Amino acid sequence: MTKDTSARVTARGAAIALLNAVLSEGRMLAQLAAPDGLSPADRARAERLATETLRQLDRIDRVLKPLMRKAPPLPVLNTLRLAVLELSQGTAAHGVVNEAVNAIRRNRKTQHMAGLVNAVLRAVPQPLDLSTLPAPMLPRWLRQPLVHTWGREVVTAIEAIHAQTPPVDLTPKAKATDLPEGERLPNGSLRLANPGQISTLPGYATGDWWVQDAAASLAARLLAVKAGDQVLDLCAAPGGKTLQLADAGAKVTALDISDARMSRLRENLARTGLSAELVVADALTWQPAERFDAILLDAPCSATGTLRRHPDLPHIKDGSEISDLVALQAALLDRALGWLKPGGRLVFCTCSLLPAEGEEQLSAALERHPTLSVIAPEISGVDAAWISKEGGLRLRPDYWSEKGGMDGFFMACLKKA
């Protein structure tokens, strides 16, 4: 990400830099770091501002379009977008406008547009409520197959959830004693609407919980491991499911191809006092020394089920990678089945909304392996309507919409004869 070294580093300036990197360079927010010189609080604020601007981008552009004859260069446009977001959040208008104008003036390439920025922002209607505008639509490559699968009404409901700032879900340890105040969800997760700084919450330092979307937590519960089971968590990082399996008393081997991502799992294991054997390797070439009682395969996928938390994805992806991902998922699934003991269980899951990475993947696996059977989901918090005709669990963002929704997942528990 390029940095304007002539500019004083502020949270707003860092947020604009992040937006420029996503929208001009096609880089994901998770791969970017805010410019140096920011305090941890300002760094977190910059990331929040950039994320929320991307989430509301279509609505923000609807506000700006009638106020300009044509779109200015992207750095200027992103400065305007961020300012409109802050105005909609009730931030003092004079401060927002002055900061935006000063940011444009500090950059030699854009300083001649300071007057435009000032005029446009002073013309933004106040008070401004972005939620009254239509929710941003999914990109065409994703929306079309979802409309074909579930219909326009469902997809519109999903888009409405994507437009909301998601709550934070925590998975408590079985013997947790120190938890922050929040809403207990039917599956046992703890949901916080406005958590603030995560590391300052009760129970963080003592390792009583970890951050994990409620939908994601269902995969480990579906596997239903017992104390002493030999379990493989395949494609494990960043490790929420590993922590669940270890907390249930299983002897966990956690494998992932990325050592950088695995570092987060090491940190969370240390914080929670849980243990697992960590292996950094390619699952397509790695070979275990012995077979496992159970395997959890959270396969690489399009991540389209996580758009409510990652609104940068529609600006990065175009769907061209789906066929390669489907082939990789099938290869990992076939390989993992060979590592199961007879009678062992495997949960296959993807954080995808696309049937090609879920329902169709399960049907194809059952055809390739006639001796496999699907174990019906029997876990708390699951509505019978969420179970697909193939026997898997289809989770959608519009489920629990009155509570803030959930990430999109498909998961199924398979038993080896």
Which residues have a Cβ under 8 Å from the Cβ of 336 and sit 6 or more positions away?
Answer: 232, 234, 283, 295, 297, 346
Instruction: Please tell me the pTM assigned to this model.
Output: 0.93
| Amino acid code (one letter) for 175 | K
Q: Give pLDDT tens digits for 99-115.
A: 999 999 998 999 999 99
- Which residue among 235, 301, 349, 351 is the active-site one? 351
Bridge-based pairing of strands 190-192 and 209-211 is unpaired
Active site residue 351: yes
Q: Does domain 168-415 have CATH number 3.90.550.10?
A: no
Tokens of 406: 């959930």
Cβ-contact 27, 316 below 8 angstroms: yes
Distance CA 87, CA 99 (A): 12
Cβ-contact 304, 352 below 8 angstroms: yes
Q: Give pLDDT tens digits for 118-159.
A: 999 999 999 999 999 999 999 999 999 999 999 999 999 999
Q: Where are the domains of the chain?
A: 11-132, 168-415
Q: Give pLDDT tens digits for 148-196.
A: 999 999 999 999 999 999 999 999 999 999 999 999 999 999 999 989 8
Q: Give pLDDT tens digits for 326-356.
A: 999 999 999 999 999 999 999 999 999 999 9
Distance CA 63, CA 78 (A): 13
Distance CA 311, CA 200 (A): 26
Phi, psi angles (nearest 5°) of residue 298: -95, 85
Q: Does domain 11-132 have CATH number 1.10.940.10?
A: yes
